[in-house]
Chain A
Amino acid sequence: QVQLVQSGAEVKKPGASVKVSCRASGNTFTNYFMHWVRQAPGQGPEWMGIINPSGSSTDYAEKFQGRLSVTADTSTTTVFMELSRLRSEDTAVYFCARGKGVVITAPFDSWGQGTLVIVSS
């Protein structure tokens, strides 16, 4: 099973950007799609976006279009999530997760530990 290790908690002001990293262990990094999911306090998970690390193609949920950028660095087996123009409603725990198997439409079988992002003036 892959291990996904995320960067630490962040506190940001409204209007700022945040960049969260997720490093994957193992040597099969480019074989699996990687996702970002967030969870606001007391809410269910919300899918944000996906990247194919082998070609860096991405797809984002409509509500994050224009504010979200997901990238990958194959040399360090790390994926990144950058969310811009932050507002208080973006306060949440952000998770990276790996798609199960090699097909794009798959559930998530490995998750990072989560990164708390607090947006507050």
Chain B
Amino acid sequence: DIQMTQSPSTLSASVGDRVTITCRASQSLYSWLAWYQQKPGKAPKLLIYKASDLESGVPSRFSGSGSGTEFTLTISSLQPDDFATYYCQQYSTNSWTFGQGTKVEIK
């Protein structure tokens, strides 16, 4: 299986900050990477797919970039609703795998 590694595991930030989360894959994904946001007790919510395409209804402050084995999720100006855990997911093979998550906390 393809291994997904996120960094950092925890990130402390303030409202208005620019935040970047990195995800690395153990082999090339081309652009078959998605990002999810999850809040406690809720299901993950799709934010970004195909590395950089914004899911319908997701605010434009979220953006994704990268290809191959290295990808980033950027929140341009952190809002109170954005404090959550973020996961990357590869879907380049028929064995979907997720990163271990990055928790974005209030500084």
Interface residues of A (CB under 8 A from B): 35, 43-47, 50, 59, 61-62, 95, 97, 100, 104-109, 111-114
Given A106-B91, A114-B43, answer yes or no on A100-B96 (Cβ-Cβ < 8 Å). no
- Encoded as 1 (CB less than 8 Å from any A CB) or 0, chain B from 42 to 54 comes to 1111100100000
Shortest distance in angstroms between B82's beta carbon and chain A's nearest beta carbon? 19
> Which B residues are within 8 Å of any A CB, using their own CB?
1, 32, 34, 42-46, 49, 55, 87, 89, 91-101
Distance in Å: Cβ of A104 to nearest Cβ of chain B = 6
Chain B residues with Cβ under 8 A from A95's Cβ?
43-44
Q: Hey, which chain A residues are within 8 Å of B1, CB to CB?
A: 62
CB neighbours of B45 from chain A (8 A): 111
User: What separation, in Å, do the CA atoms of A105 and B89 have in the docked complex?
Assistant: 12
* Smallest beta-carbon distance A105→chain B, Å: 5
* Residues of chain A contacted by B91 (CB below 8 angstroms): 105-107
Task: List, sorted by A's number, 22 A–B pairs whose CB atoms are closer than 8 Å.
Answer: A43-B100, A44-B99, A45-B44, A45-B89, A47-B95, A47-B96, A47-B97, A59-B94, A62-B1, A97-B43, A100-B49, A105-B92, A106-B49, A106-B91, A107-B49, A107-B91, A108-B34, A108-B44, A108-B46, A109-B46, A109-B55, A111-B44
